[in-house]
Structure 1
Amino acid sequence: MNPSADGDAPLLEVKLLRLFDLLYSTHSVTHAAELLGQSQPTVSIWLARLREQLGDPLFVRTPSGMQPTPRAEALIPIARSALESLRKLATEDAGFEPATAERRFCICMTDASHITLLPQLLAHVRSTAPGVRLEAGRIDATTGERLQSGEADIALGLIPELGAGFYQQVLFTQDWVCLANRHHPRIDGELTLDDYCREGHIGIVSGTGSRILASALEDRGIDRRIVLELPGFLGLAAILSTTDLIVTLPRQTGETLGRTADLRVLPCPFPIPSFTVKQHWHARYHHDAGNRWLRGVCAGLFLHNRTN
């Protein structure tokens, strides 16, 4: 085999590998030419090139046809393995079989989604993909980098800072409600704007949603009397159940907490812009079979379903 200018052995063309395999199987140049859809003179030229590149006659004429030389015998397993690898590369779509897959998926989400989305997602995954492990990651300044690197697979929420290089799909729209103790001493049925301004509030201070609420309050000139600030929704239901405080929060979270903690869900007494919850993923993983499966699960569970 002659070395190329850069010191590496020249690569065999795929057509020469196929010829090598067919000659070994058929022992006939004529038959190999038919299977390749080529003329016999063309195949003879290919065989001459193959012999030159491999530095061996490879096949010799005998009464029983073209028989392989010892070097051809030694090379045929390698050639067939290379052809099989090329076929897989060209045709195989690495699918994802949830029933048998063993894979970890990291989903970046807010702690509100731990309450509203994660239970349904986990139940579905456990029933359809028992070997899959889920990890709930945070949404923060590193979310984009984690999605790009593959450390995280998708992100669920309102993440307007994700721009070029990311795909997104709207799942549902969120508006706002207020939540209070079902036995609140001063609120019975309707929450008026006067009630809202008079009562003590719990302020949730993290996330894009909190900025939307703060902007709406500023536009209306409403100054809430904040008694307690929380970084998220952990412990919120227990606090509301044991105090006379109220909280303003996205409807899905409010209705979920209202059901599970027997709290009163009240219409917000002033308009707050709604927002969309989306799933986000990086373009690098747009065609990854596992990522496609996970996105399909989330769409099937949450698409256009506001309160789930």
Structure 2
Amino acid sequence: MSQPPRPDALAPGHTPLLDVKYLRFLDVLYRTRRLSHTAHLLDQSPPTMSIWLAALRERFGDPLFVRMADGMQPTPRVEAMMPLVRSALAALQGLVADPDDFDPGTATRHFRLCMSDGSILTLLPGLLSQIRRKAPNVRLEAIRIGADVPQLLANGEADLALGYLPVLENGFYQQALFEQVWVCLANPAHPLIRSGLDIDTYAAARHVDIPQGTGHAMLKAALARQQIQRQVCLEIPVYLGLPAIVSGSDLIATVPSLTGYTLARVSGLDVYPCPVPMPPFMVMQYWHERFHLDPGNRWLRRQVYEVCAGRGR
């Protein structure tokens, strides 16, 4: 029986290169950690996957993936190779991508967006309305922003991330959408606030806190610089229920401006500029370089940008 061609088999005198199928194999196995799952995703048989892995091991002189209790774990050689493997795949995808081959009127694509609680509240309704109007068969799914955002974007398990995510740097593109400042929400009958909210009143008041996201870290740092120790009486994980809590108590909530004005508009709360000096922050959309030229991803980014235009004001 003839042997499969080595992954570096080329005409004499040429620099050995990996076949594209081996690049895809490395990428999928790195994500799945399972040869059987990789075989399914690549529409190959499990024995073929074993043959490909053996050929690559011979080519690189390294085990590449080691079978362990929790799956096929990559060696340091694979960890070092993966950025180059994925860049090569992205470049090859870009070569054959047609910028006009995404038709929103007929597309049935499923887009997944990593979003903060505030973005779901303030941006998702407008984005959903626009996309349903232009692409009625497209499905949207919102995913809560977490520590796995870089991996989700790199693996193609999410298309975009919306928010303030300074940790996304190498390998990611970003686009500024609008600027946010911090505001305070209060009951119109708040006993300490008469004509405005100054820093002394802010320090003396009691607060409800939503300690989520990287933006909140900026707020904590600003409070520390001003040596303000807030009297936090309640912590909640999301903005759900915040209007009812503030309108029914003397607690003050410090939130990003777009979220604050959105909540105030539907609940009759008063909005005050946060008296604690701190710089504004920029809400961005982020995507991985692997999908920079993907027509569907490009279309989705345009819709997000259009919906967000002017939101900072």
Same fold, TM-score > 0.5, yes or no:
yes
CA displacement at 1:169 relative to structure 2? 0.3
Map 1:162-173 → 2, pairs under 5 A: 162-173=168-179
Deviation sequence 1:50-90 (CA, Å, 0-9, x none): xxxxxxxxxxxxxxxxxxxxxxxxxxxxxxxxxxxxxxx97
Q: Structure 2 unaligned runs (5+)? A: 7-94
Q: Work out the CA distance in 2 between the residues paired with 1:266 and 1:92.
A: 49
Question: Aligned letter for 1:178?
Answer: C
CA displacement at 1:232 relative to structure 2? 2.2
Instruction: Give 1:190's aligned residue.
Output: 196
Contact 2:113 2:140 in 1 (8 A): yes
Instruction: Give 1:160's aligned residue.
Output: 166
Deviation sequence 1:90-128 (CA, Å, 0-9, x none): 795561111111111000010011111111101111111
Q: Work out the CA distance in 2 between the residues paired with 1:183 and 1:135.
A: 39
1:289 aligns with 2:295: yes
Task: Tell me: CA distance 1:92–1:118, structure 2 relative to 1, closer, same or farther (3 Å).
Answer: closer
Give the percent of matched residue pairs that are identical in Structure 1 and Structure 2: 48
Task: Tell me: CA distance 1:277–1:6, structure 2 relative to 1, closer, same or farther (3 Å).
Answer: closer
Instruction: Give 1:11's aligned residue.
Output: none
TM-score, normalization by structure 1:
0.69
Contact 2:177 2:282 in 1 (8 A): yes
Question: Aligned letter for 1:141?
Answer: A
Task: Tell me: CA distance 1:6–1:226, structure 2 relative to 1, closer, same or farther (3 Å).
Answer: closer
1:247 aligns with 2:253: yes
Task: Tell me: CA distance 1:203–1:302, structure 2 relative to 1, closer, same or farther (3 Å).
Answer: same
Contact 1:180 1:265 in 2 (8 A): yes
1:213 alignment partner, one of 203, 212, 219: 219
CA displacement at 1:254 relative to structure 2? 0.5
Contact 1:173 1:304 in 2 (8 A): no
3-state SS of the aligned residue for 1:161?
A: coil
Larger radius of gyration: 1
Q: Work out the CA distance in 1 between the residues paired with 2:96 and 2:120.
A: 41
3-state SS of the aligned residue for 1:277?
A: strand
Question: Aligned letter for 1:214?
Answer: K
Contact 1:107 1:154 in 2 (8 A): yes
Task: Tell me: CA distance 1:122–1:93, structure 2 relative to 1, closer, same or farther (3 Å).
Answer: closer
Contact 1:175 1:275 in 2 (8 A): yes
3-state SS of the aligned residue for 1:98?
A: coil
Task: Tell me: CA distance 1:94–1:220, structure 2 relative to 1, closer, same or farther (3 Å).
Answer: same
* Equivalent pairs, count: 223
CA displacement at 1:231 relative to structure 2? 1.7
Contact 2:210 2:239 in 1 (8 A): yes
Deviation sequence 1:234-284 (CA, Å, 0-9, x none): 211111111111011111110111101111001112212211110000011
Q: Work out the CA distance in 2 between the residues paired with 1:166 and 1:227.
A: 39
Task: Tell me: CA distance 1:106–1:218, structure 2 relative to 1, closer, same or farther (3 Å).
Answer: same
Task: Tell me: CA distance 1:252–1:6, structure 2 relative to 1, closer, same or farther (3 Å).
Answer: closer
Instruction: Give 2:268's aligned residue.
Output: 262
Q: Work out the CA distance in 2 between the residues paired with 1:212 and 1:93.
A: 39
Instruction: Give 1:80's aligned residue.
Output: none
Q: Work out the CA distance in 2 between the residues paired with 1:180 and 1:104.
A: 39
| Runs of 4+ residues deviating >3 angstroms | 89-94
Question: Aligned letter for 1:231?
Answer: P
CA displacement at 1:168 relative to structure 2? 0.3
Deviation sequence 1:3-58 (CA, Å, 0-9, x none): 9x969xxxxxxxxxxxxxxxxxxxxxxxxxxxxxxxxxxxxxxxxxxxxxxxxxxx
TM-score, normalization by structure 2:
0.68
Q: Work out the CA distance in 1 between the residues paired with 2:213 and 2:5.
A: 56
1:174 aligns with 2:180: yes
Q: Work out the CA distance in 2 between the residues paired with 1:277 and 1:91.
A: 29
Contact 2:177 2:283 in 1 (8 A): yes
Map 1:23-102 → 2, pairs under 5 A: 93=99, 95-102=101-108
Task: Tell me: CA distance 1:100–1:170, structure 2 relative to 1, closer, same or farther (3 Å).
Answer: same
Contact 2:210 2:238 in 1 (8 A): yes
